[in-house]
Structure 1
């Protein structure tokens, strides 16, 4: 019988790219899920602060604290209605957070580009 070392090398060369794509894909899935949960938490925290009558500076500070694990340059925040005077009791305040996350998986990132996450939280002003 001849040696089968060449066969094992070919099988490894065929399977390794698939395993690497799966590994990077799982890593990307974890990163996207983490960013999604972070935005959801930050939106709820900021909406709660806005609902009890805080000004825009306190709301932005709460968002920054809750999203400290994310890249702040890619985070877009919107508070509606904008000035505190327009947030009267019984009306809704809406916090919208948008975040762009770049994927690590080589082939998928070239095809899809960055993933845009958006979280919108609405609470009634007290």
Structure 2
């Protein structure tokens, strides 16, 4: 039997051509999964915070925004490190139950996320909306 020496190393060359594509695909999947997780955390934190704002009226709490911000920050930990600058609450507080007919409370959390590997940044947003006073 005679071996053909022209085919030696062909599989190594093919692997060298395909390996970077496979690594790039794997890193893309990991980056997307991480971004999806952070988006889910932000949405849940906004939902928790808007519940605090919508169920508190001006008479029963001194500062519902502070309580909502703390709720959002605690809900997002340890996955995301939020600050008060990331959280926007509208309106400041829900009014008393007899004065509110169709007012809604909205909490928007905007978070800049650096992609894995430092490729770039994307801005993720979590938003929660609820009618005032339940």
Same topology, TM > 0.5: yes
For structure 2, the residue ranges without an aligned partner over 5 or more in a row are: none
Structure in which a larger fraction of residues adopt helix: 1
CA distance in 1, matches of 2:114, 2:8: 39
Corresponding position of 2:38: 35
Corresponding position of 1:50: 53
Instruction: Check whether the contact 1:25–1:105 (CA below 8 A) recurs between aligned residues.
Output: no
Q: C-alpha deviations, 1:57-83, integer Å up to 9, x for none?
A: 21111101111011336x71011123x
4+ aligned runs moved over 3 Å, structure 1: none
Q: What SS does the corresponding residue of 2:17 show, helix, strand or coil?
A: helix
For structure 1, the residue ranges without an aligned partner over 5 or more in a row are: none
Name whichever of 18-27 and 54-63 sits farther off: 54-63
> TM-score normalised to the size of structure 2?
0.78
> TM-score normalised to the size of structure 1?
0.83
Summarize the alignment of residues 1-126 of structure 1 with structure 2, pairs less than 5 Å apart.
1=3, 2=5, 4-53=7-56, 55-68=64-77, 69-72=79-82, 76-82=86-92, 84=93, 87-88=94-95, 89=97, 90=100, 91-104=103-116, 109=119, 113-126=120-133
Q: C-alpha deviations, 1:6-61, integer Å up to 9, x for none?
A: 21111111011000001100001101110111111111111111111051221111
Q: How many residues align?
A: 117
Which structure is larger by alpha-carbon Rg, 1 or 2? 2
CA distance in 2, matches of 1:121, 1:5: 61
CA distance in 2, matches of 1:18, 1:94: 43
CA RMSD of aligned residues (A): 1.9
